[in-house]
Amino acid sequence: MTTGYTVSQLRAAVADAVRAPSLHNTQPWRFRLHDGGIEVAVDPLRGLPATDPTGWGARIACGAALFNLRLALAVAGTPATVRLRPYPADPDVVARLVPDVPRRPTPTEQGLYGAIAHRFSNRAPFWPDPVPAEARWRLGEAARAEQCWLELVIGASAVNALAEVARSAHRVLERDPAYVAERVEWIRSEPAPDGVPAAAGGPQSEPQDLLPQRGFGGRNRAPGRDFEPEPLVAVLGTPGNTGTDQVVAGQALQRVLLTATDAGLGVSMLSQPIEVPGAREALRMSLGRFGTPQMVMRIGYGQPGRATPRRPVDEVLDLPVVPA
């Protein structure tokens, strides 16, 4: 007989959920216990009106947090049955998790769970070593296990075509003063519980760079420290593009990121070509895929780095007020 989740199970799992990535590290999520179920919701107060006017990025981030939550609960022996967007009248609630039959975690769940604390966006140049076929296969399997596809962009001309689309999307975004103001607003030069620390922002971009780097106030680059000449670029996509599809994509994104971390690989995300509708369409056409691209990733062997800060768990929980 399974009853509902407890507040202590919620707290423990949410500490892992918040390690998920989010646009500009806004951490746009809330968690609550409701009728014994854990609910994950978009936090409308932490939106990015200029960068993410449709809420796509917030739903991707909440989906990624949901994947960590699922893993944490499974590894604790209390796996969940998940319903996505359970309340049509309240689409901000992206998922409701109720306890399933208790069981031991699988080795895959344990491996992915172990990667949560080590994953970070690695925006620095990678070593030129190629990603082995076995690791590439695992990344594709990770996306498929979460009902998404992962297209590895192979060959110089395909990578160049994608890079051209990404650079033009980057230019379109950078021409919008509201977008630029938001990006700058979320750069952190002092310790802070959210936003992108300048030290994590990667090196300043240079004219010879193939892929556009979002400017997060990073360091100037040492001479000769160019980006890898043949990056492994992957595009994650979904069959449809409803709000629910975007939550599904967020879960798949996190599964791919954790699989990469577990394989010793670094990843940085590039979403400019997803955020500009014309660029997203050009990307979809160039891949010749049905469905919608949801994220572009650069994958390779990188230097060690550090996880970025998160807000305390208590700040993202909605707990009922217990009368004194």
Ligand X SMILES: Cc1cc2nc3c(=O)[nH]c(=O)nc-3n(C[C@H](O)[C@H](O)[C@H](O)COP(=O)(O)O)c2cc1C
Could you tell me which stretch among 23-31, 131-139, 160-168, 314-322 binds ligand X (CB under 6 A)?
23-31
For residue 35, give both structure tokens. Answer: 């009728």
- Asked if 139 touches ligand X (CB under 6 A), the answer is no
- Least distance to ligand X, CB of residue 133, Å: 26
Could you tell me which stretch among 18-26, 89-97, 99-107, 154-162 binds ligand X (CB under 6 A)?
18-26
User: Rounded distance, CA 17 to CA 318, Å?
Assistant: 15
Nearer to ligand X (CB atom), residue 60 or residue 74: 60
- Asked if 94 touches ligand X (CB under 6 A), the answer is no
User: Rounded distance, CA 281 to CA 234, Å?
Assistant: 16
Nearer to ligand X (CB atom), residue 5 or residue 67: 67
Nearer to ligand X (CB atom), residue 33 or residue 196: 196
Q: Which residues neighbour 263 within 8 Å (Cβ) at sequence distance 6 or greater?
A: 135, 138, 139
- Asked if 238 touches ligand X (CB under 6 A), the answer is no
Nearer to ligand X (CB atom), residue 67 or residue 120: 120
- Asked if 279 touches ligand X (CB under 6 A), the answer is no
- Least distance to ligand X, CB of residue 36, Å: 29
- Least distance to ligand X, CB of residue 26, Å: 8
- Asked if 21 touches ligand X (CB under 6 A), the answer is yes
123, 188, 284, 298: residue in contact with ligand X (rule CB under 6 A): 123
Q: Which residues are bridge partners to 34 per DSSP?
A: 37
For residue 64, give both structure tokens. Answer: 């990624």
- Least distance to ligand X, CB of residue 323, Å: 38
Determine what percent of the chain falls in helix, strand and coil, rounding each to the nearest 5.
Answer: 40, 20, 40
Nearer to ligand X (CB atom), residue 24 or residue 70: 24
- Asked if 18 touches ligand X (CB under 6 A), the answer is no
Instruction: Tokens 């070509």: give the residue.
Output: 273
User: Rounded distance, CA 23 to CA 111, Å?
Assistant: 25
Sign of the four-CA dihedral 290, 296, 302, 305: negative
Q: Which residues neighbour 306 within 8 Å (Cβ) at sequence distance 6 or greater?
A: 120, 200
- Asked if 23 touches ligand X (CB under 6 A), the answer is yes
Q: How many residues bind ligand X (CB under 6 A)?
A: 21
Q: What is the DSSP letter of 78?
A: -
- Asked if 61 touches ligand X (CB under 6 A), the answer is yes
- Asked if 121 touches ligand X (CB under 6 A), the answer is yes
Grouping H, G, I as helix, E, B as strand and the rest as coil, residue 205 is: coil
Contact of 81 with 97, CB cutoff 8 Å: yes
120, 149, 179, 227: residue in contact with ligand X (rule CB under 6 A): 120
- Asked if 272 touches ligand X (CB under 6 A), the answer is yes
65, burial (CB in 10 Å: exposed 0-12, middle 13-18, buried 19+): buried
Chain mean position to CA 53: 18
Distances (CA, A) of 123 to 158, 201, 301: 21, 7, 11
- Least distance to ligand X, CB of residue 305, Å: 8
- Binding residues for ligand X restricted to 142-181, rule: CB under 6 A: none
In the complex, the residues that contact ligand X under the rule CB under 6 A are 21-25, 57, 60-61, 120-121, 123, 196, 200, 214, 268-272, 307-308
